């Protein structure tokens, strides 16, 4: 894919940071507001797709490296299953941090409340783990399919 | 009859999806057909969990005094949507590879496996 | 000839779906909903999250989400395996 | 925290954790991934054996995810379970044993079979994920969870079928066909899950079975589930994907794919026996499954005789052997309603059908491994190009003879043990069916004699001069399978009495299945 015009590239330079931050916001507030690991991860991956399209496939490969993504993805998934394993004291997916006063264990005021980040035990950890896995994974898919599209276009011209 | 109009929409979605799968010859159209069925079944799951005049089951600044919609179908549909993304990504990558090897994506010409 | 067989199969399957759509319960009010009422009432206290859907996705039915993250991981490993010759 | 009541999840979670770690280990050094995967599958095989001993002695095991204790199925104040749970009974662990054994041997076989230059860590990661998804399909007690694992199984098997597809065209075409079939079947299973959830607002199989009112919608859901799971298991009406998928996948993967389609066959039995049981008129559904079985048997073997490619021939035989299982269990289902006939021959028919699943997984796996060994050394699968290989590959020839004799149902081997159960019980039900089954068995023997003659016998061909025996790890995998085949063939009643019979009884007695969950054990 050739890179797009200068205007698009400049706008992308301005915008992609905010998209990534918004994606992390959705991941981190998964247990309070609508959203969570998957939705936030998809938003961050859309920022990578934007970079890939505006800078073209060759240039984008410099700063969107597949090996880092695959490492990130494996770490995210391992963190997710290790958090699930930590509950093995009682059962596999036990929420041992909820209402326990430690990391994310504040008591929740029942009924409608403004929402306190420090609640819901294991859920924020899992949200972050899944968010990490999804945006790295979708990043890999976007990059690989761009390579594939590049290859099929070469076959068309020849 | 108007009561279950969303189910008619679901049936139209799935019917169109199966129609494209059976009668269309282009591999990309088959991928689109699978996406159609995927969306139809997701819509079916979501419509099962609706309560008339209810609000999303989230307690942060929720309007007080309103009933809440059933949360389980939304959890199931979240899983099903990500599976749809994964299926579509895999099918489209295979279509690319078939195009690389066979030079065509017409079902009749992609026919080396005989018998 | 093949088209006729496919046509019949399609019509039979489509009639299956239409019958199920017609005598499905009316859209607005679910007939049974104790499981969901339990979630709406107790999700806040048991899982400690305001968002009932996230508490189901990650706490009550967390194993589904683990399975589903595995689906995404399988697809990605499958695509990497498929495209491994082009990238190198 | 004693380990024994956490075994159901450890069988599944340890290989899953290993599958996630393999890309990281692959970056350190390629060779370690294969050995790491084999060790992890060995570990989960040991856990499966521990769980099997516990289930056959104590009774069905339940494992609830996220509850205060693994056995707390009903949270306070509710009649139905709300969390996902594993409900492993004798039938589930019977399939679990086959899965664990076959995937362990497949991992050993592919240590030497898969060349080490690139993509090895992807291969082992997908192998582990395929094993995990089969365990999940067999152990889960929750329909939606079954759909998720069905999806992982189809994704992993499609990616593995396309594994050789980077420089060859056929594997990708075979993978695409299989992907379309399994996508449709997974989505229709989800539609049936939606129907059950819409009607009863409950997702646990035992809970749905207890609250089932058998309305018009449930009949449709049954029709969808049976037809779609039969399609996934490779029964005849939609069997076109089986020969392509089995012949294009690498040999150890084909062996595991055979067991993966048996897992969806198990799911069909679970739906018919544990979800619906007496509420549906068993004679009609029984006869439908018998007709599926007969068609699969006959079309499978007639197509197999005219094949040139050795793996396509074996794939068609896999379809025809699935027909035997469907016939056996179909007869058992048909007579489920009247207890006298059930006691007389219904239970033996089902024992034959289910024992045949184990035997088929063993000898079909051995045959595919021998075909893989031939391909590994000669590089071709076409029977006309092969010849006189008995001179060079002694062990593979012996293993092929054992496998071919077992599939044809010759006495000292395990194929005979389960086929004789099917013949004598189906004969009492309807003599014509068992005659067709015997004819198909004779045709199977005929086609395998042809394969043996054209591939192994004959003069030493010049182009195979430098062919020598396959490496040790492949011979080890094939040797273990042959010993199991001979052991099952010589002592069949040992296996039938304390492994197959409890499995059959756990399928037939639906009330035991529901009481373990709703009785709030």
Mean pLDDT of chain D: 88
Q: How many domains does chain B have?
A: 1
Mean pLDDT of A114-123: 80
Choose the closest CB to A133 out of C47, C69, C86: C69
Residue A158, token pair as written in the block: 């020849």
Better-scored residue on pLDDT, D339 or D425: D425
Instruction: Tell me the C-alpha distance between D242 and A79, whole Å.
Output: 37
Residue C77, token pair as written in the block: 């490993």
pLDDT digits over C36-51, tens only?
888 888 888 888 888 8
Å between A82 CA and nearest CA of chain C = 11
Q: What is the pLDDT of residue D1?
A: 52
Instruction: Decide if A94 and D67 are in contact by the 8 Å CB cutoff.
Output: yes
Instruction: Decide if C72 and A133 are in contact by the 8 Å CB cutoff.
Output: yes
Better-scored residue on pLDDT, D466 or C50: C50
Which chain D residues are Cβ-neighbours of A94 within 8 angstroms?
Answer: 66-68
Residue ranges of domains in chain C: 2-87
Report whether pLDDT(D157) > 80.
Answer: yes
- What b/e sequence results for D428-452 when a residue is b if at least 16 CB atoms lie within 10 Å of its CB, and e otherwise? bbeeebbebbeebbebbeebbeebe
Instruction: Tell me the C-alpha distance between D367 and D402, whole Å.
Output: 9
pLDDT digits over D161-215, tens only?
998 888 888 889 999 999 999 999 999 999 999 999 988 888 888 888 888 887 8
Report whether pLDDT(A84) > 80.
Answer: yes
CB pairs under 8 A between A and C: 114
Q: What is the pLDDT of residue B105?
A: 81
User: Are β-strands B54-55 and B67-68 bridged in parallel, bridged antiparallel, or unpaired?
Assistant: parallel
CB D139 within 8 A of CB D507: no
B11, part of any domain: yes
Q: What is the pLDDT of residue B24?
A: 86
Å between C24 CA and nearest CA of chain A = 29
Q: What is the pLDDT of residue C46?
A: 81
Report whether pLDDT(D520) > 60.
Answer: no
Q: What is the DSSP string of D432-472?
A: HHHHHHHHHHHHHHHHHHHHHHHHTSSSPPGGGTT--PPPH
Instruction: Tell me the C-alpha distance between D180 and D161, whole Å.
Output: 13
B61, part of any domain: no
Question: Where do the H-state alpha helices sit in D76-142?
Answer: 90-113, 120-139
Å between B68 CA and nearest CA of chain D = 16
Q: What is the pLDDT of residue C86?
A: 52
In terms of C-beta density within 10 A (0-12 exposed, 13-18 middle, 19 or more buried), how is residue D281 classed? exposed
pLDDT digits over D96-110, tens only?
999 999 999 999 999
Which chain C residues are Cβ-neighbours of D154 within 8 angstroms?
Answer: none
Backbone angles phi, psi at D486, to 5 degrees: -65, -40
Mean pLDDT of D291-299: 90
Å between C8 CA and nearest CA of chain B = 11
For residue B11, give its domain range.
Answer: 2-52+67-102
Residue D86, token pair as written in the block: 């594993």
Q: What is the pLDDT of residue D521?
A: 46
User: Are β-strands B54-55 and D61-64 bridged in parallel, bridged antiparallel, or unpaired?
Assistant: unpaired
CB D111 within 8 A of CB D38: yes
Mean pLDDT of chain C: 85
Read off the CATH number of the domain in which B80 is found. 1.10.287
Instruction: Tell me the C-alpha distance between D390 and A84, whole Å.
Output: 53
- What b/e sequence results for D364-394 when a residue is b if at least 16 CB atoms lie within 10 Å of its CB, and e otherwise? bbbbbbbbbbbbbbbeebebeebbbbbebbe
Better-scored residue on pLDDT, A112 or C65: C65
Better-scored residue on pLDDT, D37 or D277: D37
pTM here is 0.94
Which chain B residues are Cβ-neighbours of A148 within 8 angstroms?
Answer: 93, 96-97
Residue B65, token pair as written in the block: 């005094």
Report whether pLDDT(D278) > 80.
Answer: no
For residue D457, give its domain range.
Answer: 281-490
* A131 SS3 class: helix
Q: What is the pLDDT of residue D80?
A: 82
Name the closest residue on chain D to residue C73, using Cα atoms. D20
Q: What is the pLDDT of residue A121?
A: 80
B29, part of any domain: yes
Percentage, residues of chain A above pLDDT 70: 100
Instruction: Tell me the C-alpha distance between D97 and D47, whole Å.
Output: 10
pLDDT digits over B41-73, tens only?
999 999 888 888 888 888 887 787 788 888 899
D148, part of any domain: no
Instruction: Tell me the C-alpha distance between D31 and D26, whole Å.
Output: 8
pLDDT digits over D391-429, tens only?
888 888 899 999 999 988 888 888 888 888 889 888 888
CB D356 within 8 A of CB D258: no
CA-nearest of D494, D358, D356 to D437 is D356
Which of A 98-117 lie inside 8 A of D, CB atoms?
Answer: none
Q: What letter would DSSP give residue D344? A: I
Q: How many domains does chain D have?
A: 1
Q: What is the pLDDT of residue A140?
A: 93
Instruction: Tell me the C-alpha distance between D462 and D281, whole Å.
Output: 63
Instruction: Tell me the C-alpha distance between D17 and D9, whole Å.
Output: 12
Q: What is the pLDDT of residue D390?
A: 82
D82 touches chain A (CB under 8 A): no
């Amino acid at each position: 894919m050739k890179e797009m015009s200068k205007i698009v590239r400049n706008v992308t330079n301005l915008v992609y940071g905010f998209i990534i931050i918004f994606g992390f916001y959705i991941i981190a507030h998964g247990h309070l507001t609508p959203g969570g690991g998957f939705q936030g991860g998809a938003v961050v991956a859309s920022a990578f797709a934007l970079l890939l399209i505006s800078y073209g496939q060759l240039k984008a490969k410099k700063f969107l490296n597949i090996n880092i993504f695959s490492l990130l993805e494996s770490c995210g998934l391992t963190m997710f299953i290790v958090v699930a394993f930590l509950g093995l004291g009682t059962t596999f997916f036990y929420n041992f941090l909820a209402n326990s006063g430690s990391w994310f264990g504040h008591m929740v005021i029942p009924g409608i409340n403004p929402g306190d980040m420090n609640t819901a035990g294991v859920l924020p950890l899992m949200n972050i783990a899944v968010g990490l896995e999804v945006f790295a994974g979708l990043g890999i898919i976007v990059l690989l399919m761009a390579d594939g599209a590049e290859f099929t276009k070469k076959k068309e011209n020849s | 009859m108007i009561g279950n109009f969303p189910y008619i929409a679901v049936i139209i979605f799935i019917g169109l999806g199966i129609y494209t799968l059976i009668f269309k010859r282009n591999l990309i159209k088959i991928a689109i057909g699978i996406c159609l069925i995927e969306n139809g079944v997701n819509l079916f799951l979501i419509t099962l969990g609706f309560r008339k005049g209810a609000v999303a089951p989230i307690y942060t600044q929720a309007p007080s005094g309103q009933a809440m919609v059933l949360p389980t179908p939304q959890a199931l549909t979240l899983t099903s949507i990500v599976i749809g993304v994964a299926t579509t990504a895999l099918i489209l990558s295979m279509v690319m590879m078939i195009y690389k090897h066979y030079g065509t994506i017409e079902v009749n010409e992609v026919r080396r496996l005989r018998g | 000839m093949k088209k006729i067989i496919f046509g019949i199969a399609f019509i039979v399957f489509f009639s299956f779906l239409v019958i199920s759509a017609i005598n499905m319960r009316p859209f607005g009010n679910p007939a049974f909903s104790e499981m969901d009422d339990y979630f709406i009432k107790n999700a806040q206290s048991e899982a400690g999250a305001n968002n009932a859907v996230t508490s189901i996705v990650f706490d009550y039915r967390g194993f589904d989400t683990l399975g589903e993250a595995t689906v995404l991981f399988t697809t990605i490993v499958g695509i990497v395996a498929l495209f491994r010759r082009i990238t190198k | 925290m004693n380990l024994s009541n956490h075994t159901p999840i450890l069988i599944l979670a340890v290989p899953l954790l290993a599958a996630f770690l393999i890309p990281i280990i692959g970056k350190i050094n390629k060779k370690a991934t294969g050995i790491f995967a084999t060790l992890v599958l060995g570990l989960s095989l040991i856990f499966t054996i521990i769980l099997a001993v516990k289930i056959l002695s104590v009774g069905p095991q339940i494992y609830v995810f996220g509850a205060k204790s693994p056995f707390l199925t009903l949270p306070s104040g509710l009649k139905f379970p709300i969390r996902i749970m594993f409900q492993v009974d004798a039938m589930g662990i019977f399939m679990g044993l086959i899965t664990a054994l076959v995937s362990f041997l497949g991992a050993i076989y592919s240590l030497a079979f898969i060349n080490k230059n690139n993509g090895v860590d992807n291969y082992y990661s997908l192998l582990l994920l395929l094993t995990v998804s089969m365990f999940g399909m067999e152990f889960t007690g929750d329909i939606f969870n079954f759909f998720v694992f069905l999806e992982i199984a189809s994704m992993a098997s499609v990616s593995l079928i396309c594994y050789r597809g980077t420089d060859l065209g056929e594997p990708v075409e075979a993978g695409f066909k299989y992907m379309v079939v399994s996508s449709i079947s997974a989505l229709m299973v989800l539609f049936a899950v939606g129907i059950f959830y819409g009607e009863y607002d409950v997702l646990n199989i035992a809970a749905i079975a207890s609250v089932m009112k058998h309305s018009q919608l449930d009949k449709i859901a049954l029709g969808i589930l049976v037809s779609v799971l039969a399609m996934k298991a490779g029964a005849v009406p939609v069997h076109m994907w089986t020969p392509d998928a089995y012949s294009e996948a690498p040999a150890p993967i084909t062996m595991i794919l055979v067991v993966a389609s048996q897992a969806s066959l198990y799911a069909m039995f679970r739906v018919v026996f544990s979800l619906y049981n007496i509420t549906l008129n068993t004679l009609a559904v029984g006869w439908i499954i018998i007709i599926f079985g007969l068609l699969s048997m006959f079309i499978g073997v007639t197509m197999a005789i005219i094949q040139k490619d050795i793996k396509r021939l074996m794939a068609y035989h896999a379809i025809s052997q699935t027909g035997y299982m469907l016939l056996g269990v179909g007869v058992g289902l048909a007579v489920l309603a009247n207890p006298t006939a059930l006691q007389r021959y219904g239970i033996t028919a089902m024992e034959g059908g289910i024992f045949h699943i184990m035997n088929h997984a063993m000898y079909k796996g051995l045959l595919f491994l021998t075909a893989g060994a031939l391909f590994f050394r000669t590089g071709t699968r076409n029977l006309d190009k092969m010849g006189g290989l008995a001179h060079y590959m002694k062990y593979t020839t012996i293993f092929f003879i054992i496998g071919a004799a077992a599939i044809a149902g010759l006495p000292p081997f395990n194929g005979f043990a389960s086929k004789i159960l099917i013949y004598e019980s189906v004969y009492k039900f309807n003599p014509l069916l068992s005659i067709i089954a015997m004819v198909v068995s004779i045709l199977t023997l005929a086609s395998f004699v042809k394969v043996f003659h054209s591939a192994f016998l004959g003069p030493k061909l010049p182009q195979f001069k430098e062919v020598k025996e396959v490496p040790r790890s492949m011979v080890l995998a094939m040797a273990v399978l042959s010993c199991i085949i001979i052991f099952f063939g010589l002592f069949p009643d040992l296996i039938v009495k304390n492994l197959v019979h409890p499995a059959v009884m756990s399928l037939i007695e639906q009330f035991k299945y529901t009481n373990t969950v709703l009785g709030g054990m």
